[in-house]
């Protein structure tokens, strides 16, 4: 590790001001950022902690929308969203291990946008919205590639809004050591159609499987996608699975999610 300054603001305004300094970076639960700093892959001069900002914590549901503060931990989401959005709560309950769930935050996860993280699929499948200190960003516009988002320098995720669907489920084929998704699929049946969001599979990060969405909007059944396939040429390949393997898993996990949601 190396020397850096740690700032602990109590309001969003204080945090935004601190982030305006040179080499400043927000710190949520630190589950990704701290290990990255230890490896000297990131070297911010100032860390601005969000854990003391009360307005950025908590879970509430109203008018068919679930709102989660950006500094809310995965464990809190799993517990407090269970009655209003069980599909999302179950997803949060299976992120990492107990240490990660009790420290990691939804805002940190979405800001990092790891290509194998779970929350990006949940947000994209929900047709949700990222709320920052200065604007609101639709999920379809927010994710822009591996570890890349629409966030601008110094912008802070203060809350995340999820449209609560009629039915939903998340299925994750996980790498057993990291518990990240080799392929994770979030399926959400909304009143105006079905959304299918896939994480862990593509070289471009989380994406919507539009062909499956069209089929499932007409027939919400695993049979509706039995003849569909994802192009393997855009899938990731590594020691854990070939592109062809991941492409196959997208169909399998989508079918399982549809069955479980139905």
* Span 89-108, pLDDT tens digits: 999 999 999 999 999 999 99
CA distance 137 to 139: 6
**Domain boundaries of the chain, sorted by first residue:** 5-49, 54-163, 167-261
pLDDT at 28 over 80: yes
pLDDT at 194 over 90: yes
Using CA atoms, how far residue 177 sits from 59, 69, 119, 174, in Å, is: 30, 29, 19, 9
Domain 54-163 classification at class level? alpha beta
Q: Domain 167-261: what homologous superfamily?
A: CO dehydrogenase flavoprotein, C-terminal domain (3.30.390.50)
Give me the CATH topology for the region 5-49: 3.30.43
Average pLDDT, the chain: 94
pLDDT at 147 over 90: yes
CA distance 76 to 64: 20
Using CA atoms, how far residue 237 sits from 41, 124, 232, 233, 244, in Å, is: 23, 23, 10, 10, 8
pTM: 0.94
With a CB cutoff of 8 Å and minimum separation 6, the contacts of 198 are: 121, 183, 184, 185, 206, 207, 208, 209, 230, 250, 254
CA distance 135 to 130: 8
């Amino acid at each position: 590790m190396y020397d850096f300054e740690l700032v602990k603001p109590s309001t969003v305004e204080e945090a935004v001001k601190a982030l305006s300094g040179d080499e400043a970076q927000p710190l949520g639960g630190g589950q990704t950022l701290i290990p990255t700093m230890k490896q000297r892959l990131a070297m911010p001069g100032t860390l601005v902690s969000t854990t003391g900002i009360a307005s950025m914590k908590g879970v509430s549901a109203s008018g068919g929308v679930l709102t989660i503060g950006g500094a809310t931990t995965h464990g809190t989401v799993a517990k407090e969203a269970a009655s209003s959005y069980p599909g999302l709560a179950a997803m949060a309950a299976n992120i990492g291990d107990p240490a990660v769930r009790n420290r990691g935050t939804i805002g940190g996860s979405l800001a990092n946008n790891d290509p194998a993280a779970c929350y990006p699929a949940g947000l994209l499948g929900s047709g949700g919205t990222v709320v920052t200190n200065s604007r609101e960003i639709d999920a379809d516009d927010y994710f822009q590639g591996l570890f890349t988002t629409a966030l601008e320098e110094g912008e802070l995720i203060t809350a995340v809004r999820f449209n609560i669907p009629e039915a939903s489920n998340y299925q994750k084929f996980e790498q057993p050591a990291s518990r990240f998704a080799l392929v994770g699929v979030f399926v959400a049946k909304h009143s105006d159609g079905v959304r299918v969001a896939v994480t862990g599979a593509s070289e471009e990060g989380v994406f919507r499987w539009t062909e499956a969405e069209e089929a499932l909007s007409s027939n919400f059944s695993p049979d509706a996608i039995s003849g569909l396939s994802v192009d393997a040429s855009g899938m990731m390949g590594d020691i854990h699975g070939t592109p062809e393997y991941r492409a196959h898993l997208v169909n399998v996990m989508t079918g399982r999610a549809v069955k479980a949601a139905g």
